[in-house]
Amino acid sequence: MNKKQIAVVGAVVIVMGYLFMQPVKGLVKPKEDNSHQNAVQQQERKVAQINIETLSATAKSAIGSNLSSKIEALENQLKTAPESDKLKIEAQLAKQWDDVNQAAPAGYYYLQVARKKNDFENWLNAGNRFNDAYKFTQDTAIQPAYVTNAVEAFENARKLKPENLDAETGLGIAYVNGGAPSPMQGIGLLLDVVKKDPNNRNANLNLGQFAMKSGQFDKAVPRFKTVIAQKADVEPYFYLAESYKQLGMKKEAIAAYEKCKELMADPAFNQRIDQFIKELKD
């Protein structure tokens, strides 16, 4: 299995744990007064900082020495490089981390480049990577920093291209993750995106995920169907299966789980899917 497939399997497992362990506050009870909690979250985001040395060490342990050797050489080069050469090396590091599916360090370097160049592509890349990093970690100590950096990146991207739907979608996701006083601000942005582009893949996928986290599985199903109609991937099929299961639609859930197995030929992953199917049949 190549590194892209490994990333997909890991993403599915981690995201599903995240979905059910950490419901989005404010979506289930939108009228609840969360002003104190929001103030605390805002303060946490101010305190939380990205430590690239720690991120790099963690990511290197995940990918192994063979894939990290070139990255380590660039990092050593960056430490001694004159200021005039650092931008080029940081851009190389962003791409190298991207190539091995390590969102957090990639986001860090895209952000460094974007702050210097102030160009749309690097702001967008930084925001997307930090949203991914937030999604794939259970480390609540670092999540606020990922959210803060994602918001900075997407807000700057939108200043350069206010009508860009990718940037609006990314900002909506970051807002729901805690980057705004109310998660509904983020949901509003995502709904605006699908109003302009009903088939927008990323917006529909995330609206479906957020619907699941708030227990609105009936609303999640059509979102995932819209995503799957464009491209059949493991992730939306997995969410669709889970949504059907929660709705008591066992036949439909089993069919969606079977599609997951077709799309991901990994024995460990498929063994887990078989367990889900067995539970539904029993």
Give the residue-averaged pLDDT of 154-161.
98
Percent of the chain predicted with pLDDT > 90: 73
Examine the domain organization and report whether 201 and 106 are in the same domain: no
| pLDDT for res 15 | 42
Give the chain's domain count.
Answer: 2
Retrieve residue 12's tokens.
Answer: 């599915």
Which of 42-46, 65-69, 229-233, 239-243 shows the lowest per-residue confidence on average (mean pLDDT)?
A: 42-46
Question: Which of 269, 222, 272, 245 has the alpha carbon at shortest distance from 8?
Answer: 269
Cα dihedral sign, 99-100-102-106: negative
Alpha helices in the chain (DSSP H): 3-21, 35-47, 52-63, 65-80, 83-99, 103-117, 120-135, 143-160, 165-174, 183-196, 201-213, 217-230, 234-246, 250-263, 267-281
Instruction: Identify the domain containing residue 66 by its residue range.
Output: 34-181
Examine the domain organization and report whether 28 and 51 are in the same domain: no
Q: CATH number for the domain including 216?
A: 1.25.40.10
Contact status, residue 146 vs residue 55, Cβ threshold 8 Å: no
Q: Which residue has the higher pLDDT, 163 or 7?
A: 163
Retrieve residue 143's tokens.
Answer: 């999540």
> How far is 62 from 7, CA to CA, in rounded Å?
11
What pTM was computed for the model? 0.84
In the predicted structure, residue 33 carries a pLDDT above the cut 90 = no
Examine the domain organization and report whether 28 and 99 are in the same domain: no
Question: Which of 32, 41, 33 has the alpha carbon at shortest distance from 179?
Answer: 41
In the predicted structure, residue 190 carries a pLDDT above the cut 90 = yes
Over residues 205-256, the pLDDT tens digits come to 999 999 999 999 999 999 999 999 999 999 999 999 999 999 999 999 999 9
In the predicted structure, residue 17 carries a pLDDT above the cut 80 = no
Examine the domain organization and report whether 60 and 173 are in the same domain: yes
Examine the domain organization and report whether 28 and 44 are in the same domain: no
Contact status, residue 47 vs residue 168, Cβ threshold 8 Å: no
Examine the domain organization and report whether 85 and 141 are in the same domain: yes
Contacts for 81 with CB less than 8 Å, ≥ 6 apart: 89
Last residue of a domain, one of 148, 181, 214: 181
Give the residue-averaged pLDDT of 168-177.
97
Last residue of a domain, one of 162, 181, 200: 181
Average pLDDT, the chain: 86
| pLDDT for res 27 | 52
Q: b/e map of 240-264 (b: 16 or more CB within 10 Å)?
A: bbbbbbbeebeebbbebbebbbeeb
Examine the domain organization and report whether 55 and 137 are in the same domain: yes
Examine the domain organization and report whether 2 and 69 are in the same domain: no
Contacts for 222 with CB less than 8 Å, ≥ 6 apart: none
Examine the domain organization and report whether 137 and 174 are in the same domain: yes
> How far is 142 from 151, CA to CA, in rounded Å?
15
Examine the domain organization and report whether 44 and 170 are in the same domain: yes
Give φ, ψ of 215 to 5 degrees.
Answer: 80, 10
Contact status, residue 167 vs residue 154, Cβ threshold 8 Å: yes
Examine the domain organization and report whether 176 and 270 are in the same domain: no
Q: Which residue has the higher pLDDT, 268 or 192?
A: 192
Last residue of a domain, one of 181, 198, 227: 181
Contact status, residue 82 vs residue 124, Cβ threshold 8 Å: no
